[in-house]
Structures are given as C-alpha cells and as structure tokens.
Amino acid sequence: MQERPLKPVRSFRDALDNHAIHYYYNIVMKAKNFDAPPIRIFAGYYRPHWKLFAADMFCASLIAGVDLAFPMVTKYAIERLLPGGLYLVFLTVIALMFVLYLLRMGFTWFVTYWGHTVGAYIEADMRRDLFSRLQELPFSFYDNNRTGHIMSRVTTDLFEVTELAHHGPEDFFISIVTLTGSFILIFMIRWEMALVLAVVVPVMIVFTIRSRKNMSQASRRVKEKTAEIIANLESSISGVRVAKAFTNESYEKHKFRGGNENYKSARKKYYRSMAGFHSRMEFITHILTVVVIAAGGLLIMRHKMTLAELITCNLFVSAFLQPIRRLQNFVEQYTSGMAGFGRFVDIMRLKPDITDRPGALTLDHVCGNIEYCDVSFSYNNNVTVLRHINLSIPEGSSMALVGPSGGGKTTLCHLLPRFYEIQEGSITIDGYDIRDISLESLRRNIGIVQQDVFLFAGSIRENIAYGRIGARDEEIIEAAKRAEIHEDILKMPQGYDTLVGERGLKLSGGQKQRVSIARIFLKNPPILILDEATSALDSATELRIQHALEELSRGRTTLVIAHRLSTIRNADCIAVIDDEGIRQRGRHEELIVQPGLYAELHRAQFGALSRSAGGAQMAG
C-alpha cells in the first residue's frame, strides 16, 4: 500500500487534513484484511464510527423497551386499575405512557437521522477504499475491464450499502430484543401461548433463510445488468460523435434497448423472488394472529385463561409481528446490500501485481542512464511482444523507436515506469534496477507525452498544474510559455481559468498537445517519453509543437516513438523494431544508406511525398 500524496500545507487545517490522510491510508487501510469473510469485513467498517453506532443501538433498544412496556401496562390497567376503581392511578399511567411515546419519538428521530448518517459514513469509507485500490491496480486491470463496469462498482453497487449499514444492525437488534422480550413475557402470562409461538417462529426463520439465498442470487444478477447498462451508456456517450458521423443513432438505441431489456428481466426475477417471500411471510404473520386467538379461545373455554390475558397476548403478538416485519425488511436489505458489497470485496481482494519491494530505493537525483538488458515481455503470459531486447540510452541523449505497428515500441516504453512488469531480464536507471526503486520515485522522474492527450474536465490552469500539484501561478505561466501555449490561453475568454470541456473537447488538437507539454515542463522530469506526440496533427501545427518538444527534450534522456521519420532526424540514436526485435540501430544518416527496414520506411514515406509533389507540379 503506497502512501497517499499530501496536500501543500498552506494552513493549520491543511496540516490536520494531511495527518488524517496519513492516518487513514497508512494505518487503517493496512489493518484491513480483505481476505476475511465478507460479513467480518463489513463489520470492520463500523469501527471508526463505533460511538455513534453504539448510541444508535442504545436508542433502538429504548424503542424496543417502550414497545414491550405497552402490552404489560395495558394488562395491568385492565386487570387491576380499572376493576379496582383506581382511576387516578390509571390516568397517571396513561400520562406516563404519553411521555414514554414522546421519548420514543425522540429516539426514533435519532435512529433515523444519525443511523442513516452512520450508513453514509460507511458508504463513503468503502468508496474511498475502493477508489484507493483502483488507483493501485495496474494497467492490465483496466485493459480487461470496461470503464462503465468499474464506475458501477464505485457508485450504484454501494448505494444500497447505506441502507444496509443503517437498518441492518438496527432492525436485527430491535427484532431480536422485541421477539425475545415478547416471548418471555407471554411465557410468564401463559406458557401455552408461548408454546404456539415456539412452534411457528422456527418455521418462519427456516423459510427466511431459504428465501434469502434465492433473493441474493437474483440481486447480484441485477447488479451485473446495471453495470452493463452503465458500461454501454458510458461507451455510447463517449462515442456519440462517431455514431452521428456514421448515422448509427438507431443502432445505438437498439443496442441500449437490448441491455435495458436484460436489466428489466433481471429486475423482474428479483421482484418475483421478493414477491414470493413477502406474500408467504404476510400469510404466516397473519395466520399467527388467528392461531393465537384460536388457542386463547380454547383456553378461555376451559377456564385456563382470562379475557384480559388474551387481549394482552394479542397485543404482544402485534408487538411480535413488528419485529418480524423488520426482519423481512432486513432480509431484503441484506440480500441487496450484500450483493453490492460482494462486488466491492471482489475488487478489494485484487492484489496489485506491481508493488514496491521491501526497502525500495528513492531516487532524488537522476542522471538518466537507461539500460534494457535481455528484456522479454508478454501480455497475460500469452503472445510474446518483446524478445531479448538490449538497449542502452546514455544520460541526456535521445533514442528514437521506429518500425511497423505492433512491433512493441509503446510496450517497450511502458515497461520503463513499470506500467507493466517484465517477465525476463532487467531495466536499470543509473545502474539501479527499476524493481528496486519505489514506484512513486520512479514515476516522478519520468514524463510522458502521448498522441492521445487526456485532459481533465477542469480549467487550463488545473490541467497544467497537474504536472506538479500546488505549483504557483508564476510557475504555471512559465511552463505554458515554454510550451508555446501562453499566447493562445490569453486570447481565450477566461484565460487560464477557461474550462477545457470533457477530455479537452473545447481545445484544438494542437492546443491540447501543448497543454500536455506544459504539464511536463512543470513536472520537470529527467527522463522523457514522447509516444507519437505529433502524429495526429497537421504539418503546420506539428512544426510548432516540434519546437516545443525540442525545448522540452533538451538536457533530458528522451525516448521518442515516431511514425513520421521527419521528426527524428536529429535523434542521437534510432532503433528499428519489429515483431522480431531490434533489427537496426544508428543515426539517421547511417541507417538511410543501409539496406534494411529503415531505408524501406524512409522510401515509403518520402517517395510517396515526392510522387505527390511531382503530380501536383504536373497538374499545375
């Protein structure tokens, strides 16, 4: 478990927040055992809020106590006070009951408000833990899981946990207290009536346990179908421009309708299980009243029971039915809530396969000497992508990687910051194996500029500052100037506070790329990876950004992935890679005169350009 980054301390409150972050992530999270049974994990989330939870349970017990007192007070009034003409005492008892029910109202308010608040706290803690775990999981997890499925686990799966976290223990506790108290008091009145309850209640318990299993399976299917809907929705909204460009709106509607129908079908199956459970429970609870009245009538016929005792027993049965209904609600909440919690636990039990070794090093002053020594790698131990790669990149030099698509250029670069773990060989920085360096230290010293730029849906200022959280405005502006985006920003409506839209939609491709370059200028890493940073841009914009990239690369060890050979002419070394490994290496001037893949790529690109230019002259 890595430490969470702390906020820049600008106030005493920030210092307190940092202490809380350090305490929670480095002490509490480490103490959690997510390999334990789910119910034990769930119970562990009450620990930070135990005082509030204990107060909630105390108020719940007082509510149960008031409910148990009413039948006994009624029996006492009917048998003693009214027949004995003790009307003043009767009115006093009624007034006392009025006060008790006023107190019960206060207890109910506390349980409703603070009980739900505890549930919200627990849900927030779970979501915080889940997000923290998602931040730790490697690229391979995101390669194999759709964004919508992951989002559903962070959001909808945990919504019903709030109700379970609040009502679950409360309903169960009140039910057990009320059922036990009612049974004991009925036994004290007439043991025969207690015997009737002793026969019926176990039947109800067995039925409840059997029904819960069916409802739990149905509820989990609902969660899965909900996740599919969210995944399809996220995909469709993200790709709405493509859908419109291909006039496939009707296809998208049809596809979504299919997922929606699957969700509806899963919901119907869940409601069918729930309807069967509720209808049979309602029958059992109502027939219990009939059985009690019948048994009491027989006892009265035999002069073994008084009418007052029968009324009292019937009141107790009414008190008895309330906790049974609470148990019904508890079963429904438990099955639905634990289905979502189970999917939460599935994620929390995933172990990050890329972690710090014990005693991992922290690199403070990186020169940037990089060595790939006999490196081999495959995704999911399936098809080998890289075989026995050996590559040396001296400090401050630039290494360009070229070759056909699928040759492993991007993979080779992604191994350096340990986005994936190599299977064989080693990669070193300044002589240190990257597996012996802490992930935070390793990645802090590497900057990446990619073709597909991702900008957060905030302001330009926030996106540039992401390179170094807490950077001053002057530093942000200086980074923007070095990336040659400062003048463009000043022309925008709100300047640096201009919102970029979803994934930077409101900016042009060149502007997005230069914002990402400014972000790296601010980070100021000694090692730089340029992953086809200009391949999606037009020639005029590419020339402008190429100047910013040259400025960014100056003095840094740089790996450049490029398809356009014109962008790497000045690289200190060029490695030509295909699915067989590194086929050629050298400077541009050396490789262009050698027979091989580089010369073929050069001829394919610049020969096509020459033919295109010649055709244009002939047309003119």
**E strand map for 225-270:** none
Contact between 447 and 558 under an 8 Å Cβ cutoff? The reply is no
- 79 has a pLDDT exceeding 70: yes
Quickly count: other Cβ atoms within 10 Å of residue 541's Cβ. Answer: 17
Quickly count: other Cβ atoms within 10 Å of residue 152's Cβ. Answer: 24
- List own/partner pairs for 356-360 with CB under 8 A and 24 or more apart: 356/2, 356/438, 356/439, 357/435, 357/436, 360/436, 360/437, 360/438, 360/439, 360/441
Q: 3-class DSSP state for residue 500?
A: coil
Q: Which residues touch 338 (CB under 8 Å, ≥6 apart)?
A: 38, 42, 164, 216
Contact between 158 and 123 under an 8 Å Cβ cutoff? The reply is yes
Name the most confidently modeled range: 76-80, 153-157, 161-165, 398-402: 398-402
Q: Which H helix or E strand runs over 519?
A: helix 509-523
Output the CA angle 298-303-307, nearest 5 degrees: 75
Q: Which tokens go with 506?
A: 């409101």
- 346 versus 535: the higher-pLDDT residue is 346
Contact between 276 and 211 under an 8 Å Cβ cutoff? The reply is yes
Q: Which amino acid is at 192?
A: E
According to DSSP, residue 592 is labeled: T
pLDDT tens per residue, range 195-222 = 777 777 777 667 666 666 666 667 667 7
Annotate 324-376 with DSSP letters as a single string.
HHHHHHHHHHHHHHHHHHHHHHHHHTPPPSS-PPTT-B--SS----EEEEEEE
Average confidence (pLDDT) over 307-316:
70
- 310 versus 7: the higher-pLDDT residue is 310
At 551, the pLDDT band (50, 70, 90 cuts) reads confident
pLDDT tens per residue, range 263-293 = 777 777 777 777 777 677 767 766 777 777 7
Query: Rg of the chain's alpha carbons, rounded to an integer?
Result: 35
Rounded CA-CA distance 452/518 in Å is 16
- 440 versus 295: the higher-pLDDT residue is 440
Q: Which tokens go with 117?
A: 């608040």
At 427, the pLDDT band (50, 70, 90 cuts) reads very high
Report pLDDT for 426: 92
- 618 has a pLDDT exceeding 50: no
Report pLDDT for 365: 85
Rounded CA-CA distance 258/269 in Å is 17
Give per-residue burial for 183-209: e unless 16+ CB within 10 Å, then b: bebbeebbebbbebbeebbeebeeebe
Cα torsion 52, 58, 59, 60: sign: positive
Report pLDDT for 428: 92
Rounded CA-CA distance 33/48 in Å is 15
Rounded CA-CA distance 553/396 in Å is 9
At 10, the pLDDT band (50, 70, 90 cuts) reads very low
**Domains along the sequence of the chain with CATH:** 32-348 (1.20.1560.10), 366-445+563-615 (3.40.50.300)
- 541 has a pLDDT exceeding 80: no
Q: Is 433 exposed, middle or buried (0-12, 13-18, 19+ CB in 10 A)?
A: middle
Q: Which H helix or E strand runs over 530?
A: strand 527-531
Report pLDDT for 278: 67
At 14, the pLDDT band (50, 70, 90 cuts) reads very low
- 611 versus 447: the higher-pLDDT residue is 447
Average confidence (pLDDT) over 435-446:
89
Rounded CA-CA distance 334/165 in Å is 9
- 373 has a pLDDT exceeding 90: yes
Q: Is 275 exposed, middle or buried (0-12, 13-18, 19+ CB in 10 A)?
A: exposed
